[in-house]
Amino acid sequence: MIFVTVGTQLAFDRLIEAVDSWAGKHPGETVFAQIGPGQYKPKNCTFADFVPPDKANDLIRTADLIISHAGMGSILTALKYQKPILVLPRKASLGEHRNEHQLATAKWLGQKPGVFVADEAHDIATILGSRSQLKSGDGISEYAQPAFTDRLKDCIDVA
């Protein structure tokens, strides 16, 4: 199963349309899409506007592949469950977010094993064409860098 998610806030029709179009050509694939407040309704995937956080976690855990916007919530969760994730960064220039931070996030996290980046919507089909190469990395620890949380802890404990 492929789990597609646009995150908790904004629509991202460009992503949903691209994946839906790919799914139409690959009827053997099961795709579930969380589409947010989008206008475009998928024809070839089952979908929901939003899913509760625990259900979203379950979907990520059981999926073979995650496809999402370049949001930290989706990427950190995919890394935690050691799932490969393909991201399409939102562009503020297309009205998809308030600024261009997702382009920077994609550039940075795209260097991590298990994180794959589609620069443009049409790259999604190309990348999915070599799906066997979309392998997960080694996962990440449950918590932030200990040096960071230790310093915050000291600051809180003596406050």
Partner 1 sequence: MITFNNERQMTTLKQKKVLAVASGGGHWVQLLRLRPAYSHHDVTFMTTNAAYAKDVDAPLVTVTDANIWNKLGLLRMFSEVFMHLLRIRPDIVITTGAAPGFAAVVLSRLFGARTIWVDSIANSEELSNSGKQAGRVAHVWLTQWEHLAKPDGPQFWGAVL
**Which of 32, 77, 85, 86 is the binder for partner 1 (CB under 8 A)?**
77
Count CB atoms within 10 A of the CB of residue 68: 24
**Which of 7, 38, 84, 114 is the binder for partner 1 (CB under 8 A)?**
7
- Looking at residue 35, its amino acid is I
The answer to whether 94 contacts partner 1 (rule: CB under 8 A) is no
The answer to whether 25 contacts partner 1 (rule: CB under 8 A) is no
Cα three-residue angle 110-116-120, rounded to 5 degrees? 95
Angle between helices 53-62 and 72-80 (to 10 degrees): 50
DSSP, collapsed to helix, strand or coil, labels residue 47 as: strand
- With beta carbons less than 8 A apart as the criterion, state whether 60 and 1 touch: no
Stretch touching partner 1 by CB under 8 A, among 13-21, 25-33, 41-49, 151-159: 151-159
The answer to whether 89 contacts partner 1 (rule: CB under 8 A) is no
DSSP, collapsed to helix, strand or coil, labels residue 31 as: strand
Question: In this complex, which beta carbon is closest to partner 1, that of residue 25 or of residue 55?
Answer: 55
Q: Hey, which residues between 44 and 63 contact partner 1 (CB under 8 A)? A: 52-54
Task: Give dist(CA 32, CA 13) in Å, integer.
Answer: 15
Q: Hey, which residues between 110 and 149 contact partner 1 (CB under 8 A)? A: 140, 142-149
The answer to whether 93 contacts partner 1 (rule: CB under 8 A) is no
Question: In this complex, which beta carbon is closest to partner 1, that of residue 119 or of residue 126?
Answer: 119
Task: Give dist(CA 48, CA 132) in Å, integer.
Answer: 27
**Which of 38, 71, 84, 114 is the binder for partner 1 (CB under 8 A)?**
71
DSSP, collapsed to helix, strand or coil, labels residue 87 as: strand
For partner 1, the binding residues (CB under 8 A) are: 7-9, 52-54, 71-74, 76-77, 79, 98, 100-102, 104-105, 108, 140, 142-153, 155-159
